[in-house]
Chain A
Amino acid sequence: MHNFNQYVIRTERIGYKPTEIVLSDKVLKSKQKHILHIYSLPIQTGSIIVKGEHDDYLFDESISPKIVLRGKELQRDLSSTLASTLKNELGVSMRAMGPAPSRPVLRGLGGDRIVISEDGIKNDDLSSTSPDHAVTIEPFSVDRIEIIRGPKILLRTGMANGGVIQLVRDEIPLKLISRFTGNAGLYFESANKGFLGSSTFSLPINKFIFRGEFSKKNAGNISSPIGELKNTSFDVLNGSLASSFVDENFAIGANIKVYETRYGIPGGFVGAHPNGVDIEISKLQNQIKGILKVNNNFISELNFHVNQLHLRQKEFEKKGFIGADFLVNHLTFGVDASHKEFLNFNNGNFAISLEERDYRVGGFVFTPTTKLQNFSAAIFESWKEDDFAIQFGIRNEIASITPSENKYLGNDILDLNKKRNFWITSGALSLLYHFEEFSHFGFTINKSSRIPTIEELFSKGPHLAAYSFEVGNPDLSEEKSIGSELFYHFEKDNFSILVNGFYNYFFDFITPRNTGQTNWATLLPIYQTSLAAAEFKGIELEIKKDIFNNFNSNFTLSYTDGSFAKTKKPLPAIPPLKIFLGFDYKYSDFTIGFTREFTDKQNKVDEFELPTEKYAISNLYFQYSFLNDLQLYNFTFSVENIFNKTYYNHLSRIKSILPESGRNIKFILRMYF
C-alpha cells in the first residue's frame, strides 16, 4: 500500500492476528532488513456437529425409502419407548397398552410384519406377539434410528410390504477408534416423573476395543388431565459389555447384553383385573459379530453374526401370583456377503440365516411348548444405468414348528399338537427414474410371505395382562400378500416434497379378532386368530420448506385405510389420519421449534372395537448445543401437549380407561466426549 511516501505491509491469515508495519521511503532506500512478527489467534466459532452417512448405492435414499432419525432430531423426539420416539414419523403409529408396552406400527401393519433390529440383529423378544408385551430396547443410547422399506429388507424379513426399524449404536465396535470416547446423558419427564441416567464408553487398546453401556430408568404412574393413571409405572435396567478385535481386513467382537424391566398394565375396566397386572421381563443376549474383507473378484465383504437370546417374561396378578410365564431361548446365525460389480449389477448382497427358537409357556396359559427351526436365504441386487435404477430382492424361508404334547388341552377341538412345516418365497422389485435435475419417480411391486408365529398357531388360554382369552389356529397357512407403491420426490434449494401411495392386498391376513364371546370361567373376551383377505391402501405426504433464512417448516400427512376384502368392513386397529406440522428457527447454536399434531377421529372400526375421537395437541421445544474443549453438550427442553388436552390413542388396547399423558415437560442432556 502506498500513501504519501509511506508503505504499509499488512499480513492476514486465518488463525493469526492481522499485523501491519509502516515503512517510509527513506527506510526502504536504506535497504535495512525488517522482521514482521505475526501472532497466532485462536479461532472461536459456534459448535458444529459433523454427521457422517454412507449410502452404498446411488439413489439408495430414494429407491429404498428410508426415514432416518439421528442427532438433534432424534434427541428432540426421544421418548421413553421406541414407539413413542417414532410416533410422529411418516406412516408410523403406536400400538400400546399403557406407557411401557408399546410397539411401532407402519402403514397399519404391526406385530411380526415389522422387524425391529439392533445393529443388524433382529430383536427376538415377545413384543410382536401381544399388545401387553414391551419392546426390550432402550432408545436413549441409540445413535441413529432408520425405518427402511423396499427390496433390501428382504435380506432380513419376508415381509416386503412391511418394514425394518433399524437401531444403530455399534454395540460391538468393528471399526478402529483413535481415543477413549463415549457419552453420558440424563433424561427427565414430568408426566410420570420419569428419570433416566445413561453412560456409554469405548476404549481402544492397540487393536482391541472395549465398549460398555449402562442405563437405568424409573418412571412413576402417568398423569393425565383426568388424573393419575394407576399401575402405569415402569423401570428399566439396560447394560452391555463388548470387546472386539479390529485388524485391517478382519474384525470380530463379542457382546453380553442385559435388559430388565418391570411395568404395570392398568386395570379397572370390564374384563380387566381390578388393580391391573404387573409384568417382569428379563433378557440376556450373547452376541458375536464379525466382518471379513475378502480380496477376490466377486465378494467384497462378509458380515456374520451369532445371537443367543434368553428371555423370561412373567405376568403377575396383584396378589403376586404368576398368571403367565414365558421362557424363550432363541439362537440365530447369519451371514451376509456383499459382492462387487457382477454381470450388470453394480452391487448386491447374499444372506443366509439359521434360527432355532424354543418357546415355553407356563402359569395359567395352555399354549404348548413349541420349537421353531428356520432357514432363510436371500439375495438383493442393484443395477443403475444413467437415469434409471433397479433394485430387486428374493427371499426363501423354510421353517418347521413343532409343538410338544400338551396334556392340559382336554377335549379341545383344536389340534394343538400338530407339527407344521412351511416353505415360503418373497420378492420385490423397485424401479426409479431420475428426471429433470431434482426429481425422481419410483415404483415398487412385491410379493410378501410370512410364517405364522407360534402364538398365532398354538395359543390357548387366558392372557391375563392382555385381558383376553386367546385361541390360536393350528391350521393357519402362510400369510401371503402382494403390494405396490408409487412415489415421487422433488428436492431443490430449500424445498422438498415426497408423495407415496401404496396398496397391499393380503390373501390371508392373520389377525386376532374379538369374537364377541366370553370365556365364562375367567370372564375374559375370547380373541381368536382368524384368517381373511384384507387390503390396506394409503397415502403419505411430506413437504419441507425453508420459509426464510433459518426458519424452516415441515408438514407430513399419513393416511391408511384397512378393510376386509370381501365384506369391505374395517380391519381392527387401523390408525386414523394424522397430520403433523412443525416450524423451527435456528440461531447460532440455538433452535426453537413448535409442532402441532392433528389426528382425525376413527369411526372405521371392527366389530367390538371402540371408535376414537379426533384430537390436536401442540408441542414446543428448545435446543442448545455447545462445545467445551473436547466435550459436546446437547441440551433439549420441550413441553408436549402444552394445553393439557385429554386425548386417546386409537391403537391402545385400553383406551377406554387410559388417555395419553397430559402436559409433559421434558429435559434431555447428552454429553459426548
Chain B
Amino acid sequence: MSKILLLALCIGLFSSCKEDITEPEEHFEGEGLFLLNTKKDTVIYYFQGKVRAGDTLRSIINTTSENLDLYFLDADKKTLNPPYEEEDHSLDWVITDTSIVKFNFAAGKKYSINHTGKKVGSTTFELQLLHQGHPDFRTVLIPVQVK
C-alpha cells in the first residue's frame, strides 16, 4: 500500500503544467478626448486628467440630445481616431448617479453617443475605452447637469 502511494506521488511529481495565459494585446495610448456636436462644436474637452474649465454636459429632462461624436487626443494633443475597426475595443461609461441621466449609443455608431435627462440635478460620469473588458483609457469624472 505504502509503495503504491509513494509511486503515485512520484508520478504526480514533475509532470509538466501547461497552461495558457491571457496574452497581452497592443493597447491604445490616448491621453485625452473631446466630444463634438453635430455643428462640430466641442462640447467637452478633456486632456491629461483635466476637463476644460466650464465644460459641463448639459442635458434636458425627458429629451434625448443630439449625437455627440468622440475623438481621442495623443500626448501632443493631436487627434487620434478611435479604433473603429478593432472589434475588441468599445466605448463604455460609468455614471455616478444613474437616476439623473442616461447615455445611449447613437444608432449604428461605436463612438457616438447621446444622452437623456431623467431628473433635474447634477452628477458626473467617466468615459472609458474598453479593450477586452478592461479600460485602456479612462477619464476623470466629467460634470453633467440636467434641467
Contact = CB atoms under 8 A, between A and B. Distances in A.
A208 to B, nearest CB: 4
B17 to A, nearest CB: 4
Contacts of A364: 24, 27, 131, 134, 136
A49 interface: no
Interface stretch (B5-13, B34-42, B56-64, B104-112): B5-13
A50 interface: no
A40 interface: no
A312 interface: yes
Interface residues of A, number: 47
B14 to A, nearest CB: 6
A360 B135 contact: no
Instruction: Please classify how large the interface on chain B is, using the bins under 10, 10 to 19, 20 to 34, 35 or more.
Output: 35 or more
Contacts of A205: 1-2
A548 interface: no
A371 interface: no
A670 interface: no
Identify the interface centre among B3, B17, B137: most chain A CB within 10 Å of its CB.
B17
Contact of B13 (A308, A327, A361, A363): A308
B31 A520 contact: yes
Contacts of B10: 254
B48 interface: yes
Contact of A523 (B1, B6, B140): B140
B7 to A, nearest CB: 9
B6 A363 contact: no
Nearest to B26: A408
B24 A286 contact: no
Contacts of B133: 317, 319-322
A363 B22 contact: yes
Contacts of A407: 26
Given A208-B2, A325-B21, A518-B49, A366 B13 contact: no
A102 interface: no
A322 B2 contact: no
B24 A254 contact: no
Interface in A340-395: 360-366
A321 B12 contact: no
A210 to B, nearest CB: 7
B138 interface: yes
A325 B19 CA distance: 12
Nearest to B140: A523
A520 B2 contact: no
Given A308-B14, A319-B133, A321-B134, A256 B21 contact: no
B76 interface: no
A520 B24 contact: no
B132 interface: yes
Contacts of A288: 13
A523 B138 contact: yes
Contacts of A365: 24
Interface string A319-332: 11111010101000
Nearest to A287: B13
B22 A322 contact: yes
Contacts of B138: 521-523
A527 interface: no
Interface string A250-288: 000011100000000000000000100000000010111
Contacts of A410: 26, 29
Identify the interface centre among B21, B25, B29: most chain A CB within 10 Å of its CB.
B21
A519 to B, nearest CB: 9
A308 B94 CA distance: 44
A451 to B, nearest CB: 24
A239 B134 CA distance: 34
B134 to A, nearest CB: 5
A65 to B, nearest CB: 36
Contacts of A80: none
A520 B12 contact: no
B30 interface: yes
A245 interface: yes
B130 to A, nearest CB: 8
A324 to B, nearest CB: 9
A539 B6 CA distance: 50
Nearest to A308: B14
Contacts of A360: 21
B140 to A, nearest CB: 7
B32 interface: yes
A243 interface: yes
Contacts of B85: none
A363 B134 contact: yes
A184 interface: no
B71 interface: no
Contacts of B27: 364, 366, 408, 521
A408 B24 contact: yes
B128 to A, nearest CB: 10
Nearest to A242: B9
Nearest to B75: A520
Contacts of B47: 520
B28 interface: yes
A99 to B, nearest CB: 25
Interface in A75-91: none
A464 B136 CA distance: 12
A365 B131 CA distance: 13
A256 B13 contact: yes
Contacts of B135: 522
Interface of A: 205-206, 208, 210, 241-243, 245, 254-256, 274, 284, 286-288, 306, 308, 310, 312, 314, 317, 319-323, 325, 327, 329, 360-366, 407-408, 410, 461, 464, 518, 520-523
26 contacts: A205-B1, A208-B6, A210-B2, A241-B9, A242-B9, A243-B2, A243-B5, A254-B9, A306-B14, A308-B14, A317-B134, A321-B133, A321-B134, A322-B134, A327-B19, A362-B22, A364-B131, A407-B26, A408-B25, A408-B26, A408-B27, A461-B24, A521-B27, A521-B28, A521-B137, A523-B138
Closest CB pairs A-B (n = 5): A321-B133, A520-B31, A362-B22, A362-B21, A286-B13
Given A284-B17, A364-B131, 7 more contacts: A314-B22, A320-B133, A361-B24, A362-B21, A461-B24, A518-B49, A522-B138
